[in-house]
Homo-oligomer: A and B are copies of this chain.
Amino acid sequence: MNATVRYRLLADQLAEAIDRGSLPTGARLPSVRACAAQHTLSLNTVTAAYRLLEDRGLIEARPQSGYYVRSSLPPLQRPLRERPAGVRKAGEIDDLMAVVLQCQQRADHVDLALACPRGEAFYPGAKLAKLTASLLRRQPQLVARYALPPGSQRLREQIARRAALLGMTLAADDILLTHGAMEALQLALRAVTHAGDTVGVESPSYFNLYPLLASLGLRVLEIPTHPQHGLALDALELLLEEKRLAAIVAMPTVHNPLGCSMPVAAKQRLADLVNRHRVPLIEDALYAELQFAEPLQPTVKAFDRDGWVMTCASYTKTLAPDYRIGWLEAGRFRDAVRQLKFSSSVAESVLLAETVGLFLENGGYDHHMRALRRRYAAQVDAVRGLVARHFPAGTRATQPVGGFLLWLELPETVDSLALFHAALAERIVIIPGQLYSNGARFRHCLRLSCCQELDERVTGALRRLGELATALAGAPPAA
């Protein structure tokens, strides 16, 4: 067992103790020396484990005193229990999404919904602008080039190179550039499913996945998903014995909306499972590079054997939202997705793809990402703190290990659709929990984006949202 595995194991043990409450909020952890002696580990290993827990926001170091369990907000410890869900009304949700989209584009609304940072502070905008302008100056004929799939060789080589940091061995030739990760998901699904097929998804899942699946005539089977360990593999394994799934869509590394990653061993088991059952796993690795702790945990793709894992990601969340450059490595479905891309939207802009490629080559992407990780970890933590102060008693929250999303379970008396409308009346945009499932399972849940500057406008909106939730929590439960 190497050092990396040892300190992660220790961190996981301690995190579990914190979750169970055997290390309650405010408790002091054993000193590094005591802990090392107790577990017969080196001081370095224990220090690394404590740092990891600090990065995850579970403990804090107090100068001259030691490490303490932090956070007054109870973490989410188990999947929401199944409830008599009923199916969402499709029309209602579509209309709601249309309202969200409109309001997000209005300057007079505070947007706590959009999962994409807005504002220069989060991106090397000036540097990218410079790179693009310089490309145009040197090669104005780029504008007149008709791009064909798979797209910019330079960028694909960089994607392959960086994939190694997530444990993946990819070849540039097997990578397809896409119009963001959303198109990658769309193409991957279309490559391996037919209308009427059943697709397994996590529960909760990224809200925009449901309309995509519905538009393709696909049935959805929601697989229980733990707010800290992700997809419930025992459940999935039973399911695969009994039922044919055309595909599974999952975010095993920094989940949207839960912010969790599956343990590495579970990822390996998931890879084995889909290879054994020959079921395509569409792995959405959109936030994988935004893991708070380094070295980064590997993706499921890292353990793929026979090409059943199709992995996608994009640079919209980390580098250049407007450029919409995503990618898909589709394993054994490589040729199929390439042709689908050509007959669905042809190809990506070479100008934009080359810009991203140049930035990855020597623009300081690693430096930028480290700053982003620190910043998001701090912001998620700050929003968690605001929620702890302003939201009704009984509110629980995830403890994200990456990204910039926070998932809340409000008291069961709060209908988040009612909260959505109350907030909208005050020009605050949120996405209600109902959208993260096909049923009403998450009707008292809520996703908050922590990726905007936490200025007074945003913190004020969070406070007000908490007040509105508190008012709704006190109201008599809905019939």
Please report A residues at the B interface, Cβ cutoff 8 Å: 94, 97-98, 101, 104-105, 114, 116-120, 122-123, 125-126, 128-130, 132-133, 136-137, 140-149, 178-180, 182-183, 186, 190, 194-196, 208-209, 211-212, 215-217, 316, 320-324, 335, 338-340, 342-352
Contact = CB atoms under 8 A, between A and B. Distances in A.
Nearest to A118: B146
B118 A144 contact: yes
Given A133-B133, A321-B145, A179 B179 contact: yes
Q: Specify the main secondary structure of chain A where it touches its partner.
A: helix
Contacts of A137: 129, 133
Contacts of A180: 345-346
Given A101-B149, A120-B141, A208-B342, 7 more contacts: A97-B339, A132-B136, A146-B316, A182-B343, A186-B343, A194-B217, A322-B350
Nearest to A123: B144
Contacts of A97: 339, 342
A321 B144 contact: yes
A215 B217 CA distance: 13
Contacts of A194: 195, 217
Contacts of A105: 148
A218 to B, nearest CB: 10
Contact of A183 (B320, B323, B345): B345
* A178, A180, A195, A343 interface centre (most CB from chain B within 10 Å): A343
A343 B211 contact: yes
A69 B322 CA distance: 53
Q: Which 10 residue pairs spanning A and B have beta carbons closest together? A: A195-B195, A129-B136, A116-B146, A183-B345, A129-B140, A179-B345, A146-B321, A133-B133, A123-B144, A211-B343
A386 to B, nearest CB: 23
A347 B180 CA distance: 9
Contacts of A128: 140, 143
B342 A101 contact: yes
A157 to B, nearest CB: 16
A126 B139 CA distance: 9
A154 to B, nearest CB: 14
A324 B346 contact: yes
